[in-house]
Amino acid sequence: MSWDPRRLRPFATCAVLSAAFALLSACGSSVTSTTSTGSTSSSASASGAVVSSSGTALAGTVTLPSSCGAIPVSLISQYIGSVATTRSLGSTPNGVSCEFANANASSIVVVNIGQGTNAEFAGLRAGAAKDGRTVTSISGLGSTAFSISKNGVTRGVDALSAQDVVFSVSANLPLSQDESLIGQLMKLF
């Protein structure tokens, strides 16, 4: 297999999110795999309280996924075809970092969802704008959003919702599909 710099994006995303939000308590130290069937679903509220797998939460709280199984595989499949594997890229106290891949790993989507403030999101954006990467503002996606590119190739999209939930999608997909996936995730979480 030849070296593909896009495969490094999940690890860069994990490191940036860890530094910017302290979301990942053990970035990449605990990796588990499951097939696309048989995953269980549970969620946590933004306040950290566990809620039912039906996605219900107390009024005024945002429901965040607490496992990769809480993110519908059917949603990811719209972008990469049949999802063969789902991997957790690390546990987080207020969200998840998940990798979804098709059978031959020709299409991979990394989704990070967690709690974050405007200041933390600004730090995420500043960190993303290093090492030759370019960030470009995106309007109409959450309260603020940006894309990340390097050498003219989109590497991902990060967005902050009005409820202070950070969504990050890194994939070998066109920018419009990254944006669309985040928009759909925002409706769920």
Residue-wise pLDDT tens digits, 120-131? 999 999 999 999
**Averaged pLDDT, 8-15:** 42
Residue 146 lies in a domain: yes
Residue 157 lies in a domain: yes
Residue 168 lies in a domain: yes
Residue 56 lies in a domain: no
Write the DSSP symbol of residue 173: S
DSSP 39-88: ----EEETTS-EE-TT----TT--EEESSGGGS-HHHHHHHHSS--EEEE
Tell me the pLDDT band of 62, cut-offs 50, 70 and 90: confident
Report the run of H or E that residue 75 belongs to, with start and end.
helix 73-80
Write the DSSP symbol of residue 172: S
Residue 118 lies in a domain: yes
Residue 91 pLDDT > 80, yes or no? no
Counted domains in the chain:
1
Q: Whole-model pTM? A: 0.72
Residue 86 structural domain:
5-51+61-188
Report the run of H or E that residue 181 belongs to, with start and end.
helix 175-188
